[in-house]
Structure 1
């Protein structure tokens, strides 16, 4: 039976889906995935830290927070030429989306932001979807990024509104939602998900999915991250995230948001190919490729290429959603 696109999911409905016996849940999610997406396609994204460390926030999972001693070296904003060279390398390796991250609490209207705008223009001219994650944005800043050619903006909720203050106290949940509203107003697509393994309950995971799935428009991308436990952070001794929890989150997200790119994000270095295959079967259709995610390890391009060959997967082309919309207009 066809699943409709809905934005009015109740917590009770999501609770029932999430707690479906696992194999049945994966089967249902796989059917939804097949109905709305090409299951052989996986969006390949590359994430680069263009300004590293020294962040004033206290996110309990983050090695870039200045207050934690994690061994991360503070690095100033990279030069445009260096960023574009890295983007070209990623494109040559098969990435179709390039995301630039800066360890800022919020964007400031200064020379560094002007330099980021030039980076966005440069990557856009390379024919890649360009994404940024720079912290909080005003409506005017989001508009400037859109005018420069920004395709997507990442701003994760991290967890449920109820558990949020246990992880972060330097920025409110409402401020995160306001930034997402500013991104939408600028016509930029939204990339927004969260992290599991922070010490949250299953109800917190359900709550986060409820917030995402009941937005007026579903995020175009939803990253599902497994906590990467970094020495020196408050969460360094948390238990490894169970693969079955990742599968359950991905499958539930796929059913709730059928057209969304569900990204198998941080934590893949602790998953073997079989475990990642289960995630793809459950509806994941996006990954970060390259040997580093900001400051934490990630599988290499070569490892992912071998996995794609084994599983019969192929990279999704850039701007496919826009090309499909244009094709439908002229049918």
Structure 2
């Protein structure tokens, strides 16, 4: 199957709307053409600076304006982060992502510490990823020079629905950061969240934006909202597994070589539901008992699931992203 960047919304909708079993079958077929279906990359996500964020993302417990149970903490020490990275590697993770609750990166001592963290984790032989908010081209290059492999910057939702969720930065701001990451030749990790009160048209719109970028993101996280008390979206209903499967399968078909990440919301899914997602083309998960500030399945549970489903952890620096970024 050829890699296309000229998908229309109508074409994506036709795929998205297929009978679910037919959709899963097609996605599974495409997945096998481009990936080893028995491999799933295990990633660990650590919040290196938590809470106190000036943004107003309606889903996020780290926004300073919402009254949630999140305990604010300043940027972690480099040594502590390195210990966490080593433990993650020992438990099977091959990618280590560090998240800071910042609106944007500022050129200060905290950024210097992050650069040190990136360099340290890179020296372990893990794929290093960061999600730090908006980023300039110069800052992206500094991270690249320190050994950053990937940068996460989610679109969250469609451009049309975006203003219902966030008012403190624009959709174009997000796209500009992704462009800056691309210019620095860092692997792009960008996806979104479902369950924000959006319509199917918004889910299709977000996938359309990702699939028509000049280059597909190497990594596409599909998150199900985990409603947090104190946030504007605290009363949202649980996302159905079939909604997750439709998103994952459609993403797999239109972006065949991307890592499609079964991300937030996994803690509320059974092994059987997760197996459907893997069948539909998901080939990455986040391990560890917490995803930034929301709960996640424990490592032992994931090991048992991998054993049951005969899955194996995917090695670092493998596949389309590695071919491009590690020449």
1:51 is the counterpart of 2:65: no
Matches within 5 A, 1:117-266: 117-266=115-264
Partner of 1:312: 310
| 1:323 CA displacement | 9.7
User: Structure 1: 5+ residue runs without aligned partners?
Assistant: none
User: Structure 2: 5+ residue runs without aligned partners?
Assistant: none
Separation of aligned partners in 1, 2:302 and 2:256: 25
Partner of 2:40: 42
Q: Provide Cα deviations, 1:268-325, integer angstroms capped at 9, x if missing partner.
A: 1110000000000000000000000000000011000000000000000011137974
Separation of aligned partners in 2, 1:316 and 1:216: 27
Q: What is the number of residues matched between the two proteins?
A: 325
| 1:4 CA displacement | 1.2
Q: Following TM superposition, where does structure 1 have runs of at least 4 consecutive aligned residues deviating by more than 3 angstroms?
A: 322-326
Separation of aligned partners in 1, 2:320 and 2:19: 36
Partner of 1:87: 85
Separation of aligned partners in 2, 1:83 and 1:203: 40
* Aligned 8 A contact 2:195 2:224 in 1: yes
Separation of aligned partners in 2, 1:16 and 1:314: 33
Partner of 1:104: 102
1:33 to 19, 31, 34: 31
| 1:24 CA displacement | 0.2
1:286 is the counterpart of 2:284: yes
RMSD: 1.1
Separation of aligned partners in 2, 1:325 and 1:287: 21
Partner of 2:268: 270
Matches within 5 A, 1:314-329: 314-321=312-319, 325=323
Match of 1:140, SS state, is helix
Separation of aligned partners in 1, 2:142 and 2:321: 24
Match of 2:197, SS state, is coil
| 1:71 CA displacement | 1.1
Match of 1:320, SS state, is coil
2:59 to 54, 58, 61: 61
Q: 1:323 to 1:282 in 2, by over 3 A?
A: closer
Separation of aligned partners in 2, 1:274 and 1:73: 34
Q: 1:238 to 1:325 in 2, by over 3 A?
A: closer
Match of 2:22, SS state, is helix
Separation of aligned partners in 2, 1:246 and 1:286: 14
Q: Provide Cα deviations, 1:10-36, integer angstroms capped at 9, x if missing partner.
A: 011001000011000000000000000
TM-score norm. by structure 2 comes to: 0.98
Match of 2:319, SS state, is helix
Separation of aligned partners in 1, 2:29 and 2:321: 24
Match of 2:160, SS state, is coil
Separation of aligned partners in 2, 1:41 and 1:263: 12
Separation of aligned partners in 2, 1:78 and 1:265: 23
